[in-house]
Every structure is written in C-alpha cells, then in structure tokens.
Structure 1
Amino acid sequence: MMWTELFSSRRMSRTSVQGIVLLHGRGKTARSVLPLAQELGLEERLVFTPEAREGSWYPYSTLAPRTMNEPELSESLEQVHEVVEEALKTIPAEQLVISGFAQGACLALEYALCHPRPYAAVLAFHGVVMKRRYPKPHPDTLFHFCSSENDPLIPAWKVRESHEILSLLGARSTLSLYAGMHDAIPVEELIHIRHSLGLD
C-alpha cells in the first residue's frame, strides 16, 4: 500500500478541516492528484493519496455490473479503509475530507457511504454512486457532486440520480454541473468549495 503524507505545523482551529484523503482517477498516480489538494487550499494540511495497483481501482466502468469489478473493487475499498484509519489516528472524522476524481470519486463515495462517519465532506469530482441502497449517511457529512453536462464517461443524468439518491437517504447533498468541463475543475467551483469548508 502506498500513500503520500504532507504536513505543516501551522496551527488550525479545532473546527477547521485538517486533512484529506484523495483518490486519483483511472490511469493516474497518487502524485498526479496532489495539485488538487493545493487547489482546494489543503496543501498545508494532512494529505493522504493512496495509489491503485497498475493505475486502476477496478477494471471496468463504474456503470458496469458490480460483479465485473470484483475482487478488485473490494480490495481497493480495503486499501482506502486502511488509509482512512491511518488518518483518523491523527485527526477526527469531523476534520477529514474524503475526495476523488473520476474513478477515484466513485470509490470515495462508495467507501464513505458504506462507512458513515461525521466526515467534514465527501467531494466527488466526476463521480457517481455505485448502487441505490446504503446505510443512512451521517447528518453532519456534506456530500458534493461536481461534474460536466457532457462528460463522455460519467453521464450527467447519472450524477443527478446519485445526488437524488443521497438526498432521499437524508444526506446533505449538493450538486454542480458545468458545460464543457471534462478533466478540469472550474475556478469558481474551487472557490465555492473552499468557502463551504472554511478554507478561504
């Protein structure tokens, strides 16, 4: 198991976000997702970035039948669990963000929904949920979906459906969809997230 951990001794309030678990997309590496921590204003917090074996958390599309992605999916969820448990040795769940991009976002959602805790936030960039039924999410956790209206791999209708599923479960869920956004996150979206997390 691999992850990168960065730390600054800068003092932060007890209510501020103090760490993030970031999951990269298919074909990427742990290092490739580190700039997102900086864009979110978290470069001086604890940053945990596990790396998928051979660059993929599971072999097929998130929209494929779950059985097609086993056992790799379960193994990846266990890897994320180990990283989150490591993070929780240092900071409480209330100050931890779980996030990911594309395939990593789907994995982040699946982990957080199957392990409900009062996370500061779960940020899914180009990600969707994998099923319709989950344990009731913790009411203090903010789930945020950010994606494109015309993503060729993650259709907008599926992102909307994921947001609706979480809302029906009673989760605090928000949604941002942008035109023309494929593999980038608009600056205004990053500003909005930083403000929502008290990082501006």
Structure 2
Amino acid sequence: MEKQIYTAGKPLPGAEKALIMIHGRGASARDILSLAAHLQVQDYALLAPQANGNTWYPQSFIAPVAQNEPWLTESLQLVQETVKKAIDAGIKKENIYFLGFSQGACLTLEYITRNADKYGGAVAFTGGLIGDKIYSEDYKGNFQGTPIYIGSSDPDFHVPVSRVQESATILKSMGAEITATIYPGMGHTITQEEINQANQLVFK
C-alpha cells in the first residue's frame, strides 16, 4: 500500500522546525493536523503520516508485541521515513518535534525511545511505551535534555497509569527532561490544560 505523509504549516523547504504529528486509532492524519491550530507551532513545517486502515497496530499497546507485528514494525518505519523527509529538507534533528494522541502517543514514545537523540521535544497525549512489559533492551541513545511531556487520565480505559509512570522513568533515565501529568477523571481526550502544558514545556 502507498504510504502517505500529509503536510501543512510552513513549507518544508525553508522551514527551520518540523513537527511530526501521529494520529490515534480510527482517526486520520488530517484530524491530528487540525490540532496544530491550538499549538504554538505557526513557524513549523507539519508532517503527519497516515496509518493504513486508520490504525497503527491491531491490538492493545500492552498486548504481547508479537500480536502487533508486522504492523508495529511497519508503523515505526513510516515514522522513520517521516523523520528522514524532514532531515532531507535540511531540518536538524534538534529542531524536529513529535506529537501523538492515544495510539499515536504510544507510537511516538516507542519511536523516540528506540531512537533517542537530542530532538526539539515530544508530546504524548495519553500514551506509554509499547509491549506487554517494558523491553528496555529495545531502547538506545540519549535524549540530551529533550523536553518530553506526557499527559494522561486516571483512570484511562486504554492506558494504565502504571505504564505512563514506567515510561516516564525510562525516558528520564535516558536523559529526557520529562514531565508526566496524570489528571484525575479526565477521560480519553485532549484538554486545554494539556495543550497549555505542551505549549509551555515543549513549543516554547
């Protein structure tokens, strides 16, 4: 199937910063791009890969990894291709930012932790690292102070608070400036408070 990467915001040629936006299950690249209107990213090139069938992998993110293959590997590869598109346009890694919601937040965290480096920053609206447990051997590199914000609900039907906390611990151990905020009874959504946090901590 043809892999699609949608773009918006500032055109890639000439942009100094890029934000890679990863949609949730059942949503689309166009859906997640619409969120940019609420973020301080007016001078960013926006790139949003589109999942086949609007889902990055079929099972829960805390299912055994084998149950989500080969889809998970293919989805991580598409994120890698999106990053490469920004780099090929002359954008430095430290000016590449990531954002995802729900399934897209999980994919975002999984990609950057497998490829830790000095990025501009990352935002995960309701998500955690992928797998039936944390597979720390998969995670390599150092974030060198990259600001990363995770917001999630207690409870959340899809994302256990324990996994958010475990993920934050791994990210911190790999050099991230991590902020993980758990909102009581928020529900499976993105709130204005989370958007404010993302703008203050990451898109500043």
1:67 and 1:120 map into 2 onto residues whose CA distance is: 31
2:142 and 2:124 map into 1 onto residues whose CA distance is: 15
Q: Would you say how many aligned residue pairs link Structure 1 and Structure 2?
A: 194
Other-structure match for 2:61: 62
The alpha carbon displacement at 1:43 in A equals 4.4
Instruction: Please provide the CA RMSD for this pair.
Output: 2.0
Give runs of aligned pairs for residues 24-43 of structure 1, distance below 5 A: 24-43=23-42
2:149 and 2:27 map into 1 onto residues whose CA distance is: 22
2:34 and 2:7 map into 1 onto residues whose CA distance is: 13
Other-structure match for 1:138: 143
Per the alignment, do residues 25 and 138 of structure 1 end up closer, same or farther by CA in structure 2, a change over 3 Å counting? Answer: same
> Which ranges of structure 1 fall in alignment gaps of 5 or more residues?
none
2:203 and 2:155 map into 1 onto residues whose CA distance is: 30
Other-structure match for 2:152: 147
The alpha carbon displacement at 1:171 in A equals 2.8
Q: 1:143 touches 1:171 (CA, 8 Å); kept in 2? A: yes
1:143 and 1:197 map into 2 onto residues whose CA distance is: 7
The alpha carbon displacement at 1:144 in A equals 1.6
Name which of structure 1's ranges 72-81 and 86-95 shifts more when overlaid on structure 2. 86-95
- Report the AA paired with residue 4 of structure 2: M
Q: Name the SS for the 2:7 alignment partner.
A: coil
Per the alignment, do residues 132 and 171 of structure 1 end up closer, same or farther by CA in structure 2, a change over 3 Å counting? Answer: farther
**Are 2:11 and 1:5 aligned?**
no
Other-structure match for 2:20: 21
Q: Structure 1 vs Structure 2: percent identity of aligned residues? A: 34
Q: 1:132 touches 1:165 (CA, 8 Å); kept in 2? A: no
The alpha carbon displacement at 1:174 in A equals 1.3
Which structure has greater strand proportion?
Answer: 2
- Report the AA paired with residue 68 of structure 2: N
Other-structure match for 1:182: 187
The alpha carbon displacement at 1:116 in A equals 2.0
Other-structure match for 1:76: 75
Q: Please, what TM-score do these two structures have when normalized by structure 1?
A: 0.88
> Which ranges of structure 2 fall in alignment gaps of 5 or more residues?
none
Q: 2:15 touches 2:43 (CA, 8 Å); kept in 1? A: no
The alpha carbon displacement at 1:187 in A equals 1.7
Q: Name the SS for the 1:25 alignment partner.
A: coil
Name which of structure 1's ranges 81-90 and 164-173 shifts more when overlaid on structure 2. 164-173
1:41-82 superposed Cα distances (whole Å, 9 cap, x missing partner): 224421101000001101101100001100111011111111
Q: Which runs of 4+ in 1 moved over 6 A?
A: none
The alpha carbon displacement at 1:155 in A equals 1.3
Q: 1:6 touches 1:44 (CA, 8 Å); kept in 2? A: no
| Aligned with residue 166 of structure 2, among 154, 161, 167 | 161
